[in-house]
Amino acid sequence: MDPLGNRNHNHKPYCSSFTVSEEEFKVFHRIDREVYTTLTMDLKRDPSECMQVMGMWLWLERIGFRNVVYKILSFPTPLINDLAEETLTCLNAMLPSSLEGAIDSIPLLQSVLDKDISLQFLHQHRADAVQGVAKMVEEVCIRAFSDIKMMVMQQQHREENRNNGGGGGGGGGGGEVVPAEARTMFVTFSKGYRVEERELRDFLTMAYGDCIEALYMQEVQHPNHQSLFARIVFRRASTIDVILRGATKVKFSINGRDVWARKFVPKNSTSSLNIRI
């Protein structure tokens, strides 16, 4: 007997507009939550990165590879770690020019799937793949795993405090200072569908961790007026690459309202924005 009841990701529980309670949603995604817990708590992998990995596995289920997550749950923990590494290779294959010199080998992941798949296939279909993975992260992973992610982040924070860890800005790594403009994303909102600053902050923090250095909302003349765009300065430039995954523009759904995001392109004129740090 199939413990998942032949779970199909085309079914309504995967749609953000389908009315189910948070508890029902998490029960439906019990197997997914177990695997995410293994990745983040047992293997101590980055919780935001694991959102992307889970999004990839759920997207594979959606396009016809059956019970991927359930099969992965039966693997020993070290092999789950190796599967996550192979999945990151797949995600990187969706980036432009990412296959130059790459070895098209994902043996563990292919052993889980009931059909052949390759890095070349993912690269050739990267537009659909990027959009599909992003949709799974937005509609499933953030909602199903946010409480687990919060616990992991709190535990990491406690460990850092015990070890006197912390610090570091500049957005690069290895001491390199990356200009703010290179770490900035531009987002736009639909007129009539207001998105508050707190909603935008919470969404990005849940999905990608403590990643925001500063957030600039469009300055409006009246409190009842809606901001139509914003700029987000991330702590690291790599966060933008993780969000876009090779696309020039991506769409999020924040509490049922569409938000479009792309890399910020500075202009000569100074924008009238209100800084919120």
Per-range mean pLDDT, top range of 168-172, 201-205, 242-246, 264-268: 201-205
Residues 122 and 40 in one domain: yes
d(CA 93, CA 125): 10
pLDDT computed for residue 11 by the predictor: 41
pLDDT computed for residue 241 by the predictor: 83
Asked whether the predicted pLDDT for residue 87 surpasses 90, the reply is yes
Residue 153 near residue 47, CB atoms below 8 Å: yes
pLDDT tens sequence across 252-273: 888 888 899 999 887 653 443 4
pLDDT computed for residue 48 by the predictor: 87
Q: Which of 19-28, 237-246, 253-262 has the lowest mean pLDDT?
A: 237-246
Residues 137 and 184 in one domain: no
d(CA 165, CA 182): 26
Question: Mean pLDDT, the chain, as a whole number?
Answer: 80
Give 100's pLDDT tier (boundaries 50, 70, 90): low
Residues 118 and 49 in one domain: yes
Instruction: Report, as an integer, the average pLDDT of 35-55.
Output: 93
Q: Tell me which DSSP letter residue 200 carries.
A: H
Instruction: Report, as an integer, the average pLDDT of 53-81.
Output: 93
Q: How far is CA 106 from the centre of its chain?
A: 22
Hey, what are 110's tokens? Answer: 């292919």
d(CA 191, CA 229): 10
Asked whether the predicted pLDDT for residue 113 surpasses 50, the reply is yes
Cβ atoms within 10 Å, residue 10: 10
Residues 137 and 194 in one domain: no
Q: Which of 13-27, 39-53, 139-153 has the lowest mean pLDDT?
A: 13-27
d(CA 50, CA 242): 12
d(CA 223, CA 212): 24
Place of tokens 């992998």: 45
Q: pTM for this one?
A: 0.61
Expressed as residue numbers, the domain containing 237 is 180-263
The set of long-range contacts for 122-130, using a CB threshold of 8 Å and a minimum separation of 24, is 122/90, 122/93, 122/94, 123/93, 123/94, 123/98, 123/99, 126/93, 126/94, 126/95, 126/96, 126/246, 127/247, 129/59, 129/94, 130/94, 130/244, 130/245, 130/246, 130/247, 130/250
Percent of the chain clearing pLDDT 90 (strictly above): 34
Asked whether the predicted pLDDT for residue 173 surpasses 60, the reply is no
**274 falls within a domain:** no
pLDDT computed for residue 192 by the predictor: 84
pLDDT computed for residue 276 by the predictor: 41
d(CA 223, CA 66): 49
**217 falls within a domain:** yes
Give 176's pLDDT tier (boundaries 50, 70, 90): low
**170 falls within a domain:** no
Give 17's pLDDT tier (boundaries 50, 70, 90): very low
Residues 143 and 245 in one domain: no
Q: How many structural domains is the chain composed of?
A: 2
Hey, what are 129's tokens? Answer: 């793949």
pLDDT computed for residue 8 by the predictor: 47
Give 71's pLDDT tier (boundaries 50, 70, 90): very high
**167 falls within a domain:** no
The number of C-alpha atoms within 13 Å of 252 and in the hemisphere containing its C-beta is 22
| Amino acid identity, position 29 | H
List the one residue out of 175, 258, 180, 257 whose CA is nearest residue 212: 180
Task: Please say which residue of 126, 157, 188 terminates a domain.
Answer: 157
